[in-house]
Amino acid sequence: MRGGTKGWLWPALIAAVLIGAVLSIGVGSAAIPPARAFAALLGRGDPVERAILVELRLPRAMLGLAIGAILGLSGAALQGYLRNPLAEPSVLGASNGAALGAVVAIYFGLASSSAALLPLLAIAGALVALALLSLLAGRSESALTLILAGVAVSTLAGAGISLALNLSPNPFAAMEITNWLLGSLEDRAFSHVLLALPPIALGAALLAWDARAFDALTLGEDGAAALGVDLARTRLRVLLGIGIGVGGAVAVSGAIGFVGLIVPHLVRPLTDRSPSAILWPSAAAGAALLLLADVAVRVIPTTNELKLGVVTAFLGVPVFLVFLMRERRLW
Residue 233 has a CB neighbour count (10 Å cut-off) of: 12
Cα atoms in the 13 Å half-sphere on the side-chain side of 6 = 10
Q: Measured from the CB atom, is 3 or 33 closer to other proteins?
A: 3
Question: Which listed residue (227, 296, 313, 315) binds other proteins by CB under 8 A?
Answer: 227
Q: Measured from the CB atom, is 36 or 212 closer to other proteins?
A: 212
Q: Which stretch binds other proteins (CB under 8 A): 91-99, 157-165, 222-230, 242-250?
A: 222-230
- Crossing angle (nearest 10°) for helices 58-82 and 143-166: 140
Q: Which stretch binds other proteins (CB under 8 A): 185-193, 218-226, 238-246, 304-312?
A: 218-226
Examine residue 322 and tell whether it contacts other proteins (CB under 8 A): no
Examine residue 229 and tell whether it contacts other proteins (CB under 8 A): yes
With CA atoms as reference, report the closest residue to 51 among 168, 190, 153.
Answer: 190
Examine residue 273 and tell whether it contacts other proteins (CB under 8 A): yes
Which residues are CB-neighbours of 114 under 8 A, at least 6 positions away?
none
Cα atoms in the 13 Å half-sphere on the side-chain side of 316 = 19
Phi-psi region of 256 (alpha: psi -120 to 50; beta: other; left: phi over 0): beta
**Which amino acid belongs to residue 110?**
L
Site track for other proteins across 57-86, x = CB under 8 A = --------------------------x---
With CA atoms as reference, report the closest residue to 289 among 268, 271, 270, 316.
Answer: 316
Examine residue 318 and tell whether it contacts other proteins (CB under 8 A): no
| Least distance CB 190 / other proteins (angstroms) | 32
Examine residue 217 and tell whether it contacts other proteins (CB under 8 A): yes
| Least distance CB 321 / other proteins (angstroms) | 21
In the complex, the residues that contact other proteins under the rule CB under 8 A are 3-4, 83, 212, 215-220, 222-223, 225-230, 272-275
